């Protein structure tokens, strides 16, 4: 019997496959885009510093997506549109937001250390 490694999949074990995130159909594409687009814009190169400064001024943590929405940082309609999405679409939006914040360059993340801190 093979004992799996708790630090990751066992190399060469055919019983352990590579994880692939499933592609879920978007139930409400228009509303989804109304929330997705401001996130994409906020993390774009020309807007990123301003977005992070807005979070910093309000004392928000970047990983607290609901607080970012509630404070209107992603635009005045983003929260209302988000709350009207189904659970699966909301989950995809949150995942996109969290993936976007992790893609920020290390030097920018260092500059805004308090936003990224886990404490």
Whole-number pLDDT of residue 117: 85
* Residue 101 in domain: yes
* Residue 75 in domain: yes
- Let me know if 56 is exposed, middle or buried by CB neighbors in 10 A (0-12, 13-18, 19+): middle
Per-residue pLDDT of the chain (119 residues; tens, 9 = 90+): 444 444 444 445 455 556 566 677 899 999 999 999 999 999 999 999 999 999 999 999 999 999 999 999 999 999 999 999 999 999 999 999 999 999 999 999 999 999 988 75
State the total domains in the chain: 1
> Which residue range forms the structural domain that includes residue 109?
29-116
Q: Spell out the long-range contacts of 97-104 with Cβ–Cβ below 8 A and sequence spacing 24 or more.
A: 97/39, 97/65, 97/68, 98/63, 98/65, 100/39, 100/40, 100/42, 100/43, 101/43, 101/62, 101/63, 103/43, 104/43, 104/48
């Amino acid at each position: 019997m093979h004992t799996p490694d708790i630090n990751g999949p066992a190399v060469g074990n055919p019983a352990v496959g590579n994880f692939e995130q499933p592609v879920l159909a978007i139930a409400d594409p228009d509303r989804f885009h109304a929330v997705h687009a401001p996130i994409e814009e906020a993390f774009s190169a020309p807007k990123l510093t301003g977005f992070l400064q807005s979070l910093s001024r309000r004392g928000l943590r970047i990983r607290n997506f609901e607080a970012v929405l509630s404070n209107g940082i992603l635009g005045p309609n983003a929260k209302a549109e988000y709350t009207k999405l189904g659970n699966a679409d909301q989950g995809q939006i949150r995942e996109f937001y969290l993936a976007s914040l992790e893609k920020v360059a290390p030097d920018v993340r260092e500059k805004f250390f308090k936003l990224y801190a886990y404490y």
